[in-house]
Chain A
């Protein structure tokens, strides 16, 4: 089985500060990998290196065995890597449905097809299914900016899955979401995983969410991996407890 995502000896330095220090891990088909760690542990920097928003100082990233280090985010998108955002990034004045159609659209199309092609680009049905899956049916025609914060998080997740990606990277999906909505989000992500064998990587501060959702957890502290394994093992690992509670 080939790894969907392979990170090898990745480091990222900002001047004298080593934000990510020689990190290697793989994500296999159907995994839900959680990356946790205290604030400033290098999670977001690692994520941004994988997503092409930062160029790693050393090391490489491979998607499905193909070298992708330093690729632009839009090219990664074409390889089937999509993401959600820590701070909400929907299109606020477009409807929920239009947001999803945009997220799933093949933007390679010619000028003429953009102008004269079907307005829903043949994605209307897929968008409606995704809306139903994430329990947003009653909000389909609402402007995305009018949704509650939690609903926008659901929409953000739905957008990430819209193009049927190989790999979805979720950046703090639980941040600031109330408990009810959090339960729904986790349950829907698990359902999606069960149904489509999708592969995710989740960065999250909220331990409970990660422990309940992920099949494997990786713990970062000061830019290094200090623990890796099944959620229960990691939770009991003294090094992890030290990193979170120590000093």
Chain B
């Protein structure tokens, strides 16, 4: 029981990080038909922004802010202006291929310009264990979970409780009418790219202390976000949250109780099962958008 609680907490923490990445992934899809196969590298990269800032002498908190800001500008604004806007005119598939190329480019650039070695990355809190109902739970897992949950709640409030959020939802659901009603559709789409930039940076700050900062981190993370989005339902923010949590928890439980050598296979098995039996995802609806 004690170890089950430990596994659940660390599973939830990992799952919450997957959820953040998957939310950004689905947001981009909903507002601009961007399927971003570089999303994993988008999470890998901000850690190196932070490390670079710290190498220049910035304290951790300042470096973290710089990392988030750079991520919003480069992975949000520049990504949209330089890659998405010119490519989406040619269709969804050319853009997908371009994001795959971008993922390779980001990965190799980090390897060449920074290092191919895994870099230690500072944690948000000093390592400490909490004792809870006989279980030992790491404080870091709790903090990761808290930050991720706070981020999701903040995003939920923004999307559902403000006029801005309603305009963003309207843009995603029916851009033609949104435009006629005078909603600045282009700007709303840009905001989702900014939000994605912030989400991947936060995910990077949370996951890099666990995985260490390494140029290959994006491979597993991008796949996890993609699977989480598919499991939950590609066109739903709540789906991405559910998918991320399921994936994180199952990942931890299966490694402990079934077989750690097949750990990597379980998410893929779930993915195949979902695609076979419920292709719209657990919470998804059959795609309503006429593209």
Interface residues of A (CB under 8 A from B): 73-74, 77-78, 83, 85, 89-94, 98, 101-103, 105, 107-109, 111, 113-117, 119, 121, 145
Besides A94-B169, A107-B183, 14 more A-B contacts (Cβ < 8 Å) are A74-B182, A77-B182, A85-B177, A89-B174, A91-B173, A94-B170, A102-B166, A105-B163, A107-B167, A107-B182, A113-B163, A116-B162, A119-B162, A119-B166
CA distance A114 to B166 in the complex (A): 9
A208 to chain B, nearest CB (A): 29
Q: In the complex, what residues of A have CB within 8 A of residue B176's CB?
A: 89
B288 within 8 Å of A by Cβ? yes
Size bin of chain B's contact surface: 20 to 34
Taking the nearest CB of chain B, how far is it from the CB of A79, in angstroms? 11
Q: Is B164 an interface residue (CB 8 A)?
A: yes
Smallest beta-carbon distance A192→chain B, Å: 20
Q: How far is the CA of A77 from the CA of B158 in the complex (A)?
A: 27
Partner of B180, one of A73, A109, A111, A121: A73
Contact mask B152-163 → A, CB, 8 Å, 1/0? 000000100111
Please state if A74 and B177 are interface contacts (CB–CB under 8 Å): no
Residue from B166, B184, B288 in contact with A92 in the complex, judged by beta carbons closer than 8 Å: B288
B111 an interface residue at 8 Å Cβ cutoff? Answer: no
Tell yes or no: B181 within 8 A of A by CB: yes
- Could you tell me the distance between the alpha carbons of A152 and B164 in the complex, rounded to whole angstroms? 24
Task: Pick the residue among B158, B161, B173, B181 that contacts A93 (CB under 8 A).
Answer: B173
Contact present for B170 and A91 (CB under 8 Å): yes
User: Which residues on A sit within 8 Å (CB–CB) of B169?
Assistant: 91, 93-94
Give the A-binding residues of B (Cβ under 8 A). Answer: 158, 161-164, 166-167, 169-170, 173-174, 176-184, 288
| Minimal beta-carbon separation of B185 from chain A (angstroms) | 10
Contacts of A113 in B (CB 8 A): 163
A240 to chain B, nearest CB (A): 33
Q: Which residues of chain A have C-beta atoms less than 8 A from B166's C-beta?
A: 94, 98, 101-102, 119
Residues of B within 8 A of A98 (CB): 166
Q: Which of B158, B164, B167 has the most CB of A within 10 A?
A: B164
Give the docked Cα–Cα distance between A155 and B190 (Å).
29
CB neighbours of B161 from chain A (8 A): 119
Residue from the list B158, B164, B170, B182 in contact with A111, Cβ < 8 A: B164
Distance (whole angstroms) from the CB of A97 to the closest CB of chain B: 11
Cα distance A108–B183 in the bound complex, in angstroms: 8
B173 touches A89 (CB 8 A): no
State in angstroms the CA–CA spacing of A233 and B182 once bound together: 40
A101 to chain B, nearest CB (A): 7
Q: Which residue of B lies closest to A94 (CB)?
A: B169
B189 CB to nearest chain A CB (Å): 15
Complex: chain B residue closest to A75, CB-CB: B182
Question: Which residues of chain A are within 8 angstroms of B158 by Cβ–Cβ distance?
Answer: 115
Q: Which 7 A-B pairs have the closest CB atoms?
A: A107-B182, A114-B164, A74-B182, A73-B180, A114-B163, A91-B173, A89-B177
Question: CA separation between A119 and B180, bound complex, in Å?
Answer: 21
B170, A102: Cβ atoms closer than 8 Å: yes
CB distance from A31 to the nearest CB of B (A): 23
A121 touches B174 (CB 8 A): no
CA A85 – CA B290 in complex, angstroms?
15
Question: Cα distance A78–B169 when bound, in Å?
Answer: 21
Residue in B163, B177, B184 whose CB lies within 8 Å of A121? B163
A111, B182: Cα distance in complex, Å: 14
Q: Which of A74, A78, A102, A115 contacts B179 (CB 8 A)?
A: A74
Q: Can you pick out 30 interface pairs between chain A and chain B where the beta carbons lie within 8 Å of each other?
A: A73-B180, A74-B182, A77-B180, A78-B182, A85-B177, A89-B174, A89-B176, A89-B177, A91-B169, A91-B170, A91-B173, A91-B174, A92-B288, A93-B169, A93-B173, A102-B178, A102-B183, A103-B181, A107-B183, A107-B184, A109-B163, A114-B164, A115-B158, A115-B162, A115-B163, A117-B162, A117-B163, A119-B161, A119-B162, A145-B288
